Amino acid sequence: MEILGIFGIFVLVPLIGSVIAYLFRKYAVAVAAIFAAVPSIALYPFYDTNVSRIINIGVKLNLTLDPTTWFFMLMLDTLAFSALLFAIPYIKKAQGNFATLILVALAGANGVLMARDFLSLYIFWEMMSWATYLLILRKSGEYARRYLLFGVLSAYFIIMGIGIVYYYTGSFLYSATTGIPMSGWFWILLFLVLGFGVKMAVVPLHVWAPYAYCAEQPFVAFLSGGLSKLGTFGILMAMYSIAGISILQGFGTFRGVSLFGYPFALLGAITAFIGTVLAIFQDDLRKLLAYSSIGQLGYVMVGLGLGTSLALGGAIFHAFNHAFFKSLLFLGAGAVIYRTGKYKISEMGGLGYKMPFTFLFVLFAIFALAGIPITSGFISKWMLYEAAIAKKFVFIAPLMLIASVGAFLYCFRILYGVFLGQLSEEHKDVKEAPAPMLAAMFILMLPLVIFSIVPGWILGWISKILVSMGLKPLEYSTFAYYSPIGNANMLIMWIAFMLLFMVSMIIFMMKKARVVDQLDNYLAGEAPTQVQLHAAHNFYKPLKDTWAPVLKYSINRAYEKFSQFFVEGFKEIRKMYTENPQDYAAYMGIAFLIFVLVGWWLL
Amino acid sequence: MMVQPVLLIALPLFFAFLLPLISLWSKKVLKYVVMGVMAFNAILAFIVLIEALKAPIFDIIAGFQPPLGIVLMVGPLGAFIALVINVAAFVISLYSATVTKEPLLKYYMLSLLILMGATGMVLTGDLFNLFVFLEVTSIAAYGLASYNKDRKGFEGALKYVIMGSIGSSFVLIGIAIIYAQLRTLNMLDIATRLGEMDPYTKIVAFVSLFLGFGVEAEMFPLNAWVPETYDGAPHPVSAMFASMSAKSGIFALARVIFTIFAFSNYLWFVVIMGILTVFFGEIIAYVQKNIKRMLAYSSIGQMGMIIMGLGIGTVLSVQGAFFQMFSHAMGKALLFIAAGYMIYAAGTDRMDKMKGIGRNPLIGIPLLIGILSIMGMPPFIGFYGKFYILMGGFQQGYYAIIALFLAASIVEVAYYARFIKIAFEKSERKYPAPNIWVYAPLIIFAIIIVLFGIYPKPVMDILSHVAAFLAGGA
Amino acid sequence: MTDNPNPLPSIIPEKDWKKIQRMLSKRSLWMIHFCTGCGAMEMPPTMTSRYDMERFGIIPMATPRQADLLLVTGYVAVKTLKRIVRVYEQMQDPKYVISFGSCPINGGLYWDSYNTIKRLDKYIPVDLYIAGCMPRPEAIMDAFLKLMKDIDEGRADGWLRYRKYYDKYRANQMRVFKRWDE
Amino acid sequence: MSIVNILIQSTLVALYLFLAICIGLLFMGIARKVTARIQNRVGPPIYQNFIDVGKLLAKKTNIKHNWIFDFAPLFALAGVLLALAYLPMGGYKMLSGTGDLILLLYIIAIPALGFALGSGASANPNAGVGVMRALTLMLSYEMPFLLVLLALMIFYNTASLSTLLEKQMSFAWGIVALPISALAADIALQGMMMEKPFDIPIAPHEIASGPLVEFGGKYLGMLMLYSAGSVVLETTLFVDLFLGGGVVLNPATYGVVAYVVNYLVWFALIFVVWMIAVFINAVFPRFRIEQAFKFYWKWPTVIAAIGLAQAYIMSVFLGVIP
């Protein structure tokens, strides 16, 4: 393994593992989990190191493991490991190819993170892309194609970007991009950002996400939490490492923010808003989470677009948080689906009493998603807001803030619809999720709590990344963090909260309470034994009615019309091949004439 | 040891006419004999390749010195393509064992002849031999195309005959013009003395040769025969067309473009023909319901990509083009074999009737690998060719054409994804399990695709000789 | 129905604690009025500006969980009784019942009806009756004051009785109900 | 910061919090009295709510449905106390030096979320509907309110409340500098306090007091303490944002006297703000929830946007830097 170094550990081990895991038919996923654990453990020696290596397989792959890569890789490998751990009980049939494909996707993802030249970036990107496609194909067949098309679209945007770089420099290296004119940079960055933006599901390139996220939950957790972060990483590298801040500033600045980045920031804010609004009205648990992660990645996009030190730090931190809490949510949903077999929120209810641990984990994830300060989810949102407000951006900031208010709505939708309310008759004997699932969820919950008490650690890592990209480091201490216009100290907040919680605990403990059955309930004197009390169906109806005139427009349908139009055109063109030899002979004659004439004209 | 490349041609020819005698003794052994011959040929081709990598081989036949005599001119690239053709031929010959329809004797003779013709077209250094081998290939191909003796077969074969004969007559005209002006047929000789030709006639000669080989190379608009012929022919034969005759045609085309007439100012037109081929091939493949027709149109698209690569004409793109020949020969042969099995197993050639046919891993995994490779997904061999051709295009700054090409290949991805979905979706229908003659070739091709996809270094080393080839060498 | 022990024995002696509790609960009687009959008509004037009962801290509540005082305003049919009992059991101790008019006392003008009960007191403990058909708001206010006085002196112990003789009450109830769930 | 100092500070904070809760209960009593007077009634004594809370906490039996049910009182009370602790009262910074407006904004969500959790844990449909209405209402009034906050933060160029107070003292009160925003904020405040016409979530006559439906005894008592706290929280928020937090004397110069005076001024100011809310509450009927949403996203939002534009122009183009 030392011969190949980082390539061996982070790319070959999963690849070999994928083949080996396939052979253990029944235990494939467990074996795969072990192979996924290797890179995530092997990562720790590489903390704050800078290892590079060139692998020559006929094309040269330049791989580097620096703090940026380390940070993202930590995220991804942990997610992959816990997703596979979760999948051990979850995946019942065809374990083999699930495990294989997840590991291939992991290898591809690690490769993308380590790649320092466009060729290997593209190779690993596509590897990850088709493995993901096949994983989606396992569950939701028709929509997998949609994912693949958008995946290929993004790949081709990236190819355009790469090609223009190659046109100017004749090299694929990230480092060799000197002497490219600004016009060239504009197109390169545009194509690269669009390409990676597809993976981040930025509106209007988001239509693949809601359907792709209906695949098996452990994989979706990895896809939404982990693989979508490759988009973040790609944009980060493209804009701030390959191009660099000075090039971006070269496009002209608006209050110190690059005019190239600002539209993307605005787009991100719009994405956050649209994703949130659409998430509020979903009844399918998986779709709700999908739209919410579209919205959350919108926040990340804002940070990437603004590109001040604070905003970028916030974006990276939010990507980290989103990776963990959204995977946690998807896994929680997976646990519920695994136990009940239902997807619709309105068909569940009261499961929190039967699955307390799952409920607690999901509750923490939702605190993080809603940005409640007792989780680290708050800090990243805080940084993004303050970055936007400090720069006096009066369009981005309100959109982000109102979107985060909307997040409360769908968060409560999940909590109430799934875990609270009435426990329906058919779920009377639902059991708690099996141990591996709980373990996986617990692993994902830890960072959210730890980094909310001690944000200093992770802010330190992020500052390293920012410094390596030539930006100012963040201002932070172990427990507190600062922006130009404000500050917050998590330790004091925690202590105060704990003390006050104890105070209210004392008042609460003065009297004992008696537990009554859920049907012993105020129903105007009625006490029926069989009744549906769960008010989760079409939960936000009044809001939906008020939004109806806006909601009737759908980007999705626009795409379908578009593709329909083209297929009709293809049918017309197909008529060119009349199955008639005379015509074909005529074609040859005409072709001969045209060729000769063109040739003579060229002389 | 010094291997005579001529053996590559002589051996199949010899055995093709030995087969009747063998069949008198026993009909059973025929297929094993053919497999043996082709396997031996493949090994021979490999040795020749190693030789050719040291230095281009000029093998003079019957003692006449060039420019008078006929000569085999085996450069590294020629040897490489020859190797590809022979390997493909050998693996396909395994699949041919499933062909049971009489007269088997003729089938095997013709398949040996098509191999001989294709190899000859690649190896020869002499324009007239090129024409002769082209004729051999085409005539064997006509025979094989109509081998099924059914309506589809005959119709396809007829169209192939018409187009093919027009094409070869074009070639003959071109050769005639050149000979009339230069009194020589040796390619290098022609290349050196091309300046003496009257430019207008030179164009005519070039276009004639270009179109003539364009028919074999499935270039737009000369490719109309492709879908019906591929559809009508027996399944192994479709695989042969895709991986052997088409490859020899495109290699001949490459020779015409670079070795003989090294125009630089005409190339952009070739690029346009290439992109048109890609475009129409892919979008018409999208609306096909018949699997073999879909594959046929998609192989038109692939060949168009190769023509594009040749036309772009930078070292990188031509390397890509040759890599694409290799990957397309392997991948498309795999897909045609798989399609053959599917048509046999599902009892129809309509794709929507093949639900869940790929759920048997012996078929499914190679099928998936083949399709991904054709789509150009790393780490399969299909990727490198596509990527290099594109990068070459970027070097020349053909942005619009590349955008068009990428759009076309999104369409390609769309229809292959549709097919994957059908092939792997759940269905209670049970299909007969493939026998060894079906899945062995599939697996061999799949292994080649993955192996050279993960470690393409050997191929890349061979393709590093492209520069010399472009300079007008072998 | 288990009684919770006194939470702060060490600080305040049992007796004073009870006194404080009575004093508090008499000064804020939250009522839920069960409009069974015509008596309900008398509540609006009692609440509103003419005889504003809020000045004694008596306000109407939406659910029995929050209420201390149950008003049964008028005749009680068997079917209604079932609801009344449920509401009463959902209220939290200490809780008090006032019944309006003559019907809950002796059936009133429904005395020979086939499906009204004659005496509410057999089924749930009534702390205070207001005679008359119908009692006027003055009478109601008077009743409230009387109830507050009773509470202060610890005479309003209906909830204790209900707890003590629970099965007797339940037996009486079951005599008139066929089943609980309908 | 020495340990003694910390102790003194924390005792002070505890004292202020206790006073805040008492003030809240008092205000609720006053509101009942005032409403009664408006309706030409006598009304209860103004200390009525203390009695109510006492009675509720002294109830003999309490019921709960499950362990999640307990979240409501705990999170609600702790959360509102925490939020109050980050809010300067009468010029006393409390913790607001260590956490800014956005932290406060999210801390305010803690009690609401806990309350929603607890009420959701009862299987009563009214609770679900009530919480749905509450959240929808929140989405409604946050739109103008966030624009107002943005206007303030842009104009005073700070997100920290204590800094905001100092700048208001040195420059001008928010209501003088940004009157339009102040108007929008007050309209939003009515919804934030869930006073009529926005008492939709706890409409007793439609949905049996909504989220509160299953709460009785100590649960209801603690929730009353929570609502008392939130009265002070919301009024104080307005006062701190727009009325300089009632800081008239600079504590740096006048010392303890300043604290006392400022506290009294602050008390007077929140009383005024509360009275406005109470008067509106006393004379209005109730909106339907979708009407409330449409209302808030129409006029108050427009007003708040104008206010934001004013703040933007003043700070960016006119260069008025407080």
Distance CA A219, CA A223 (A): 6
C122 touches C172 (CB < 8 A): yes
- Show the CA angle centred on residue A18, arms to residues A13 and A19, nearest 5°: 105
Give the pLDDT band (50/70/90) at residue A299: very high
Chains A and D share 3 or more Cβ pairs within 8 Å:
yes
C119 DSSP assignment: -
Give the pLDDT band (50/70/90) at residue A374: confident
Provide the pLDDT for residue C107.
80
Tens digit of each residue's pLDDT (9 = 90 or more) over A199-225: 888 888 888 888 888 888 888 899 888
Residue tagged 């609270």 (tokens): A420
Contact D59 C24 (CB under 8 A): no
Distance between A512 CA and the closest CA of chain C, angstroms: 7
Find the DSSP H helices in A91-117: 95-114
**Is the backbone of residue A64 left (phi > 0), alpha (psi -120 to 50) or beta?**
beta
- CB-CB: which of A153, A170, A577 is closest to B410? A153
B80 touches B327 (CB < 8 A): no
Mean pLDDT of chain A: 87
pLDDT value at B67 more than 60: no
Tokens of residue A533, six digits: 């009390």
pLDDT greater at residue B63 or residue B58: B58
B15 touches B63 (CB < 8 A): no
Residue of C nearest to A521 (CA): C90
Local confidence pLDDT in tens for the 182 residues of chain C: 444 455 555 566 777 778 888 888 888 888 888 877 777 788 888 888 888 888 888 888 888 888 888 988 888 888 888 888 888 888 888 889 988 888 888 888 888 888 888 888 888 899 888 888 878 888 888 898 999 888 888 888 888 888 888 888 888 888 888 776 66
Give the pLDDT band (50/70/90) at residue D30: very high
Tens digit of each residue's pLDDT (9 = 90 or more) over D197-227: 888 888 777 788 888 888 888 888 889 999 9
Distance between D151 CA and the closest CA of chain A, angstroms: 9
Give the pLDDT band (50/70/90) at residue B148: confident
Which residues lie closer than 8 Å to A116 by C-beta, 6 or more apart? A52, A62, A63, A64, A173, A174, A175
Mean pLDDT of chain D: 88
pLDDT value at B212 more than 80: yes
Provide the pLDDT for residue B1.
45
Per-residue pLDDT, averaged over B282-286, amounts to 89
Distance CA B326, CA B334 (A): 12
Provide the pLDDT for residue C181.
63
pLDDT greater at residue A327 or residue D124: A327
Distance CA B281, CA B269 (A): 18
- The set of chains that have 3 or more CB pairs under 8 A with A is B, C, D
Provide the residue count of chain A. Answer: 603
Provide the pLDDT for residue C7.
52
Contact C83 A510 (CB under 8 A): no
Distance CA A201, CA A298 (A): 8
Edge to edge, what strands does the sheet with C128-130 contain? C59-60, C30-34, C69-73, C96-100, C128-130
Provide the pLDDT for residue C4.
47
A346 touches A283 (CB < 8 A): yes
Tens digit of each residue's pLDDT (9 = 90 or more) over A444-492: 999 988 898 888 889 988 998 889 888 888 888 888 888 888 888 888 8
Residue tagged 């030179």 (tokens): B202
Pairing of strands D63-64, A487-489: unpaired
Give the pLDDT band (50/70/90) at residue A108: very high
From residue D225, alpha-carbon distances to A504, B241, B356, C153, D192 in Å are: 10, 86, 65, 29, 17
**C-alpha dihedral sign at A381, A384, A389, A395:** negative
pLDDT value at A49 more than 80: yes
Contact B406 A599 (CB under 8 A): no
Provide the pLDDT for residue A1.
43
D63 DSSP assignment: E
Residue extents of the structural domains in chain A: 244-510, 557-602
Which chain A residues are closer than 8 Å to C90 by Cβ? 520, 522
For chain C, say whether A514 makes contact (Cβ under 8 Å).
Answer: yes
- CB-CB: which of A156, A164, A591 is closest to B222? A591
Find the DSSP H helices in A204-244: 209-212, 217-220, 228-236
For chain D, say whether C66 makes contact (Cβ under 8 Å).
Answer: yes
Ranges assigned E (strand) in C65-122: 69-73, 96-100
Distance between A519 CA and the closest CA of chain C, angstroms: 12
Distance CA B313, CA B269 (A): 12
For chain A, say whether C83 makes contact (Cβ under 8 Å).
Answer: yes
Options 3.30.2010.10, 3.30.930.10, 3.40.50.20, 3.40.50.12280; CATH of C28-172: 3.40.50.12280
- CB-CB: which of C4, C63, C181 is closest to A529? C181
Distance between B105 CA and the closest CA of chain A, angstroms: 31
Distance CA C109, CA C102 (A): 8
Tens digit of each residue's pLDDT (9 = 90 or more) over A533-589: 777 788 888 888 888 888 888 888 888 888 889 888 888 888 888 778 888 888 888
Per-residue pLDDT, averaged over B8-18, amounts to 86
Looking at this predicted complex, what is its ipTM?
A: 0.87
SS3 C11: coil
| β-bridge mates for residue A56, sequence order | A60
Give the pLDDT band (50/70/90) at residue B63: low
Distance CA A503, CA D38 (A): 38
Contact A359 D65 (CB under 8 A): no
Q: C-alpha dihedral over C43, C48, C52, C54, to 10 degrees?
A: 80
Residue extents of the structural domains in chain D: 3-317
Chains D and C share 3 or more Cβ pairs within 8 Å:
yes
> The whole model's pTM is what?
0.90
Residue of C nearest to A515 (CA): C1
Give the pLDDT band (50/70/90) at residue B2: low
Give the pLDDT band (50/70/90) at residue D185: very high
Kindly state the percentage of chain B with pLDDT values over 90: 17
- The set of chains that have 3 or more CB pairs under 8 A with C is A, D
**For residue B397, which amino acid is it?**
G
For chain C, say whether A598 makes contact (Cβ under 8 Å).
Answer: no
Distance CA D279, CA D33 (A): 12
**Least-confidence region, from A52-61, B287-296, C14-23:** C14-23
Tens digit of each residue's pLDDT (9 = 90 or more) over A14-23: 888 888 888 8
Provide the pLDDT for residue B68.
57
Q: Report the Cα–Cα distance between both ends of chain A, in Å, rounded.
A: 60
- CB-CB: which of B399, B410, B460 is closest to A152? B410
pLDDT value at A527 more than 80: no
D238 touches D189 (CB < 8 A): yes
Per-residue pLDDT, averaged over B408-419, amounts to 90
Which chain D residues are closer than 8 Å to A403 by Cβ? none
Contact D54 C4 (CB under 8 A): no
Residue of A nearest to D297 (CA): A546
User: Helices (H), strands (E): how many in chain B?
Assistant: 20, 2
Kindly state the percentage of chain A with pLDDT values over 90: 16
Contact A522 C65 (CB under 8 A): yes
Provide the pLDDT for residue B473.
57
Provide the pLDDT for residue B55.
78
A575 touches B239 (CB < 8 A): no
Which chain A residues are closer than 8 Å to D106 by Cβ? 371-373, 378, 381-382
Give the pLDDT band (50/70/90) at residue A322: very high
B178 touches B127 (CB < 8 A): yes
Provide the pLDDT for residue A59.
85
Per-residue pLDDT, averaged over B156-177, amounts to 90
Provide the pLDDT for residue B62.
59
Q: C-alpha dihedral over B111, B85, B271, A168, to 10 degrees?
A: 170
Which chain A residues are closer than 8 Å to B265 by Cβ? 602
Which chain A residues are closer than 8 Å to D20 by Cβ? none
